[in-house]
A and B are shown apart, each in its own frame.
Chain A
């Protein structure tokens, strides 16, 4: 190989190829990456704009329930549930005298909901009262309004066994609730 050819291959091909190739490839990579980055940012921006609109729509949708949401969360919270149930029921019973309604049993057990695969496993509240019809209805209305997470699974009303007064208006009532919680 002649010296000229060697020189041309070294100085006019190899070195320029390196000197131009490296920055050229770097620029190409930079351009490609920047385009991807810009495209990503553009998509991100479009998503952001869309999300902003959706957020506004969500706020609008949430407006009617916004105030109730903390209460809903509190009601559905599993924390301190037994005490809250007790307080709710006691509060409902406060309006009545013990002659009208007497709370004879309160039990909380774990168990599955009567309709499987819906509300799943949870707590069951079992209550027993000795009362007349109307106070029981009103009291139940009261605590069930305060505690909308109580789902009545069963209710039994019957004349007390061995009552001394056959025509007595008192009833023995057994209520079993499934307590809906969010956890």
Chain B
């Protein structure tokens, strides 16, 4: 289990390394990075005929293209990664390995092999399905291949609309390994492999388009190792590959030629274009045909033969391009069909209409079909732009995250520095606690002092109570007291019931009894006058410095006396006095009075 996880992680890590290589910022932001080879600013065209390599460079410059001689390179060099890489670097002119702006287009004319397309893909309309299937599983499209496929042998299909059939062609990619090296992330060159004969046919269709409309043509593309025969009337009628098999010309060229054209009825009126595509002149082909027709008594009166030279094709192409093309630099007409794709119309997808115009368009598109492997493995290796952008965005997000972390750390540091610069953070908790303790103790002491100081304010003392009695009834023979009773009681119901937090009012009461004379009786009656009584209270308050006696605010005082005849027998106390009296003096201290009794929730001592 652990091994499987480790292997999977290792695979993902390798993929990640590759992805990072493809997703370099400059590459992702560069417009051409994800474009094919033919859209790169610099295109290196290589034509391989099996022996020699033709090398030409085409650069995009303001207002057109610039053709340059390419670096000299041999067929053997194409098989060496280092040499090919070095040549690429030479073209780009950079010391770095980055070849991202270079497109390498290899035009193969070394050998081409036809195949029989299976019935399922034979009709031209199935072309789109066929071209996908043939890349991944060529055996499902081409007969006799079996299930296994070799990446260095690539098949592509070509729909022939007029005869309603499809042909398949195979190119061997002997330099596949070196070409794949060029597309590695660190080099990032763009590579395309084209079929030179198809490109040539497309170009000839274009050049001879007008002539074909008047008379059927048969193109014989004479390469060094094979000859392609393509009869064209209202479209390409067939595509025949005739290998030379180590000879200068195909072995049975006459048979092949006449057996191809006779059934099509083209011998009566046809132009045979013997196009020189290799190093040899096609006159030999003509000689073979001529002797064959003579020997086999073929009627070839309607057959017109044209043998254009390479320069004439390039001149025609110059006319199409609207600019002079130097044949010594461009060298190969096949390069032009890649460079001037607009000659073949603006359509990206092939149509299946019959006629010369659609055929020119169709072969223009088919000429640009690349034989470079585009199977599942290649697609897996290719990092799509969307993923590259995603990777870059995540990378940017990562930097942003790091920046955010640094900012956060900075903010934290700043906050800490600011906080510790102030006094608040330096204040030791001991100091706070000590101060708090001190405050609490002082506060408790103050509350205690306030509370108990107020509670201990004199309200009811024996000495002042007795002194008041003397002030109320000074010693005199007219009044004789025999009993004095002082008490205090609650009076304010609010303090005792519904308003427990309200200080309680109270009443002080003096009850005196004794004997008096007539004058004493008058004196007692006088005490019932409130003003007189209040004056006595106030006098005591002032003299004794006892505010409880003061009659102020809502305090009230009241005296009630009752006098009756002294019926007691003579000899009792007060025998000389005729009256008995009782006097009750009440002082009310209301609940809202400053000296009313406060409620006490007995608190702990500080």
Residues of chain A touching chain B, judged by Cβ–Cβ distance below 8 Å, are: 2-8, 10-13, 16, 20, 23-24, 27-28, 30-31, 34-35, 38, 41-42, 44-46, 48, 51-52, 54-55, 58-59, 61-62, 65, 68-69, 72-73, 75-77, 114-120, 133, 136-138, 140-141, 144, 148-159, 166, 175, 180, 182-183
Contacts and interface: CB of A to CB of B under 8 A. Distances in A.
B597 interface: yes
A135 to B, nearest CB: 11
Interface string B398-435: 10011011001101100110010011110100011001
A158 B483 contact: yes
B128 interface: no
Contacts of A55: 435, 438-439, 442
B405 A157 contact: no
A172 B466 CA distance: 13
Given A8-B394, A16-B398, A61-B446, A41 B436 contact: no
Given A27-B412, A55-B438, A156-B483, 11 more contacts: A4-B19, A6-B12, A7-B13, A7-B16, A34-B415, A46-B424, A48-B435, A65-B453, A118-B598, A153-B487, A180-B455
B466 A133 contact: yes
A45 B427 contact: yes
Contacts of B9: 10
Given A4-B15, A20-B401, A141-B463, A31 B408 contact: yes
A109 B482 CA distance: 29
Contacts of A27: 405, 408-409, 412
B16 A138 contact: no
A31 B395 CA distance: 26
B380 interface: yes
B68 to A, nearest CB: 36
A24 B404 contact: yes
A158 B481 CA distance: 8
Interface of B: 9, 11-13, 15-16, 18-19, 380, 383, 387, 390-391, 394-395, 397-398, 401-402, 404-405, 408-409, 411-412, 415-416, 419, 422-425, 427, 431-432, 435-436, 438-439, 442-443, 445-446, 448-449, 452-453, 455-456, 458-463, 465-467, 469-470, 482-490, 495-496, 500, 503-504, 506, 573, 597-600, 602-603, 605
Contact of B442 (A7, A16, A59): A59
Contacts of B13: 7, 11
A6 B11 CA distance: 10
A35 to B, nearest CB: 6
Contact of B439 (A4, A5, A51, A136): A51
Contacts of A4: 15-16, 18-19, 380, 383, 387
26 contacts: A4-B383, A5-B387, A6-B12, A7-B12, A13-B394, A23-B405, A27-B405, A34-B416, A34-B419, A38-B424, A42-B422, A54-B443, A55-B439, A114-B490, A115-B490, A115-B495, A115-B597, A116-B496, A118-B503, A136-B466, A140-B462, A144-B463, A152-B486, A153-B487, A157-B466, A182-B602
Contacts of B482: 158-159
Contacts of B490: 114-116
Contacts of A35: 415
Contacts of A159: 482-483, 573
B419 A10 contact: no
A58 B495 contact: no
Nearest to B8: A6
Contacts of B16: 4, 7-8, 10-12
A132 B538 CA distance: 26
Nearest to B470: A133
Contacts of A175: 462
A46 B16 CA distance: 57
B415 A20 contact: no
Nearest to A171: B484
Contacts of B496: 115-117
A118 B599 contact: yes
Nearest to B16: A7
B478 to A, nearest CB: 16
A118 B436 contact: no
B603 A182 contact: yes
Contacts of B432: 44, 48
A155 B600 contact: no
A83 B533 CA distance: 40
B444 to A, nearest CB: 10
A24 B408 contact: yes
Nearest to A24: B405
A87 to B, nearest CB: 18
Contact of B415 (A38, A152, A157): A38
Nearest to A42: B424
Residue of A20, A24, A48, A115 with highest tally of chain B CB at under 10 A: A115
A28 B408 contact: yes
A3 B398 contact: no
Which of A20, A156, A157 has the most CB atoms of chain B within a 10 A radius of its CB?
A157
Given A6-B12, A73-B605, A155 B412 contact: no
Given A3-B11, A51-B435, A58-B446, A30 B412 contact: yes
A117 B402 CA distance: 71
A2 B401 CA distance: 26
Contact of A158 (B402, B452, B484): B484
A115 B492 CA distance: 9
Given A38-B415, A148-B458, A69 B424 contact: no
9 interchain residue pairs of minimum CB distance: A7-B16, A45-B424, A140-B462, A3-B15, A118-B597, A141-B463, A20-B401, A12-B394, A58-B442
Given A38-B415, A148-B458, A7 B15 contact: yes
A62 B445 contact: yes
Nearest to A133: B466
A96 to B, nearest CB: 14
| Interface-centre pick from A4, A16, A30, A180 (highest chain B CB count, 10 A) | A4
Contacts of A156: 483-486
A51 B599 CA distance: 29
B293 to A, nearest CB: 59
Most buried by A among B11, B16, B459: B16
Given A7-B16, A8-B387, A183-B602, A31 B415 contact: yes
A48 B427 contact: yes
B597 A38 contact: no
B456 A148 contact: yes
Given A48-B427, A119-B597, A155 B485 contact: yes
